[in-house]
Structure 1
Amino acid sequence: MNRIKEILACIFVHFPVAVVKLRYLLRFKKLPNLKSPKDLNEKILYMKLYTDTSLWTRLADKVSVRNYVKECGLEHILVKLYAVWNDASAIRFEELPDSFMLKSNNGDGKGTNVPVYDKNALTEAEIQFLIAKAGKWLAQKNIGALSAEPHYSRIKPLVFAEELLPIPKGEKSIVDYKLWCLNGKPYLFVVFSNRKSGGEADVSCYDLNWNNRSDLLEESKHYHIRREALQRPENLDAMIEYSRILAKPFPQVRVDLYNINGKIYFGELTFTSLGGMMNYFTPQALLEMGRKINLEYVK
């Protein structure tokens, strides 16, 4: 089994274009146009395979991106950071607050974060389990290889603890406001809510004036279109402006924010949403968004 894993990892690392084409074919029943990319997915795939993604590496790192946010004058929207470790054995639960979020800096959020609601309620066995889990995060190799995202493989693995944000009243999970920015300009909100184990979530879509645009979405295995409308968030204009500042240098990026009780928090910058294989947008929406991305000046 280990030998098989080694062979697969080798294929993913050394033949990323083949991996992309195969995965795209399996998902969309057609091959992507990488020579003359048209829609949003194809342009993301083109950029991650053929352009300089060294800055993506810095900003996809959930720890080092904090410095970029500070450089943009937005330190006030950063979630409080408690500690960072490169060795799981150095984690000291007694030095952390009662509640916190334990995360890896190079993960995609699926299984690489654990909320701790009350550390005092944890048994010693549970504490050791979390330390062992953090150790596995740090030991992971070929991060991003499976989805051909080489900028993740260059991130130095770290584990960190940050403030645990509260779930908004009336919601089943924290609400992610993901603001798509094209050519440095905010374009569209995609909002994820009611997250469940296994990666399932409700998804909704709004324009910059908070008009419902769920007509741009499609149902998929993990993402279900939310039927009830989300209330227009407080400080909507501020969210849009912060995203504009953070996205300014990039042909495309997704700025993830939280807005809880009127306070805006930075989540992350995402350059390869679903690895560039999003199936929750309609084909027409993907094409319209792709048309707005200018690759002429991409290195």
Structure 2
Amino acid sequence: MFSNAPRNIKKLLFSSLPDSIFYQYHHIRNHKSLCNFKKPQSFSEKIYHRMRYPSPEFSILADKVLVREYIKEKVGEKYLVPAFFSCKNVTTKTFDNLPNTFVMKANHSAGQVKIVTNKLNENLESLASLANSWLISDFSSVQREKHYQYIKPQIIFEHALLTNGNPPADYKFNVFNSSETTDPYIFIQYMQDRFGAITQNLFLEDWSPAPFTRAGQKQSKMLIQKPKVLEEMIVVAKKLSENYGYLRVDFYLHNDNIYIGELTLTPAAGNYTFTPERYNDILGSKFGWPE
């Protein structure tokens, strides 16, 4: 279906598909099965349901500007990446108010991030143009993660957490809450070199290797040390996710400090695939439902 169509034609065809076909096409393509929207059971089905029928608060949690207040209230301001300011339009003058090194990102999307290590080496007109192109983009239409649709676009400028010019590794805590258990189930994605030859290793809450992997993801063969502040990260992740059946809390460690990068409700647009495949169902059973 559509596999031989030119890319621009394919994009147009996808954008015109009704939800009932759009989501089913993607679920079949990635998970080899129809998505049960009436009684979602697997991890992917529950994420797809969130994408199609999002709760209003999802837009706040996914907004990289507004979520800062939620994080501050739940766990404290110290876990926020220090920010300079946010704005709804960027000009070359905008950069006059920033240091030479900073991070520029869109608040209403995923992946629209630019690390500026020295603004003196940047073409500021091009940088402003990039930011403004993000502001007019509709990320919610890409995979129909509809909660992004209700976020008012802004550009936020943050301190760059760099070591020798490189960003820190990612610790992504996938937290599952269920009424059937008192303690959440957690698996952690440890990701290195996310802007290069990315690797991803999965661990459980006690830092033992997870009994599953993400299909198609390269793993590091190096020994990965348990972070000294793992227990604190677990406490923070549980607190932030306590009202949801599932939430992914993304952390960075920099100079022995814990920072929260973002909160994620629909990771990979519902297209995490696991080896063994049965973990799509196993994790789905740990995902509290209905929310």
TM-score, scaled relative to structure 1 = 0.86
The yes-or-no answer on 1:101 pairing with 2:106 is no
Question: What amino acid is the match of 2:289?
Answer: L
Deviation of 1:120 (Å): 2.4
Match of 1:115 in 2: 115
The yes-or-no answer on 1:256 pairing with 2:259 is no
Match of 1:187 in 2: 186
Deviation of 1:8 (Å): 4.4
What whole-Å deviation, never above 9, does each CA across 1:111-135 have from its counterpart, x for those lacking one? Answer: x11101111233xxx1111100001
What whole-Å deviation, never above 9, does each CA across 1:64-94 have from its counterpart, x for those lacking one? Answer: 0001011113210100101211012375212
Q: What is the CA–CA distance in structure 1 between the aligned matches of 2:48 and 2:261, rounded to whole Å? A: 23
**Contact 1:218 1:225 (C-alpha < 8 Å) held by counterparts:** no
Q: What is the CA–CA distance in structure 2 between the aligned matches of 1:155 and 1:75, rounded to whole Å? A: 22
**Contact 2:274 2:280 (C-alpha < 8 Å) held by counterparts:** no
Overall identity of the aligned pairs, in %:
26
Match of 2:156 in 1: 160
> Number of residue pairs matched?
281
Secondary structure at the aligned position of 1:195 is classed as coil
Deviation of 1:32 (Å): 2.3
Residues 247 and 96 of structure 1, relative CA distance in 2, 3 Å threshold: same
Deviation of 1:289 (Å): 1.2
Deviation of 1:158 (Å): 0.5
Give 5+ residue unaligned stretches, structure 2.
1-5, 179-183
Match of 1:135 in 2: 132
Deviation of 1:283 (Å): 1.7
Secondary structure at the aligned position of 1:35 is classed as coil
Match of 1:79 in 2: 81
Deviation of 1:219 (Å): 3.7
Match of 2:35 in 1: 32
Q: What is the CA–CA distance in structure 1 between the aligned matches of 2:224 and 2:252, rounded to whole Å? A: 14
Q: Of residues 260, 266, 270 in structure 2, which corresponds to 1:276?
A: 270
Secondary structure at the aligned position of 2:143 is classed as coil
The yes-or-no answer on 1:49 pairing with 2:45 is no
**Contact 2:170 2:250 (C-alpha < 8 Å) held by counterparts:** yes
Q: What is the CA–CA distance in structure 1 between the aligned matches of 2:239 and 2:143, rounded to whole Å? A: 29
Q: What is the CA–CA distance in structure 1 between the aligned matches of 2:232 and 2:239, rounded to whole Å? A: 11
Question: What amino acid is the match of 2:94?
Answer: R
Question: What amino acid is the match of 1:46?
Answer: H
**Contact 1:186 1:243 (C-alpha < 8 Å) held by counterparts:** no
**Contact 2:171 2:189 (C-alpha < 8 Å) held by counterparts:** yes
The yes-or-no answer on 1:21 pairing with 2:36 is no
Residues 186 and 70 of structure 1, relative CA distance in 2, 3 Å threshold: farther
Question: What amino acid is the match of 1:292?
Answer: K
Question: What amino acid is the match of 2:263?
Answer: L
Match of 1:203 in 2: 200
What whole-Å deviation, never above 9, does each CA across 1:180-234 have from its counterpart, x for those lacking one? Answer: 111173511111112245xx62111111111122x410441xx212222311112
TM-score, scaled relative to structure 2 = 0.88
Where does structure 1 differ by over 6 angstroms across 4 or more consecutive aligned residues? none
**Contact 1:219 1:225 (C-alpha < 8 Å) held by counterparts:** no
Deviation of 1:4 (Å): 5.5
Match of 1:11 in 2: 16
The yes-or-no answer on 1:149 pairing with 2:145 is yes
Q: What is the CA–CA distance in structure 1 between the aligned matches of 2:168 and 2:75, rounded to whole Å? A: 25
Question: What amino acid is the match of 2:105?
Answer: K
Question: What amino acid is the match of 2:201?
Answer: S
Question: What amino acid is the match of 2:259?
Answer: Y
Give 5+ residue unaligned stretches, structure 1.
none
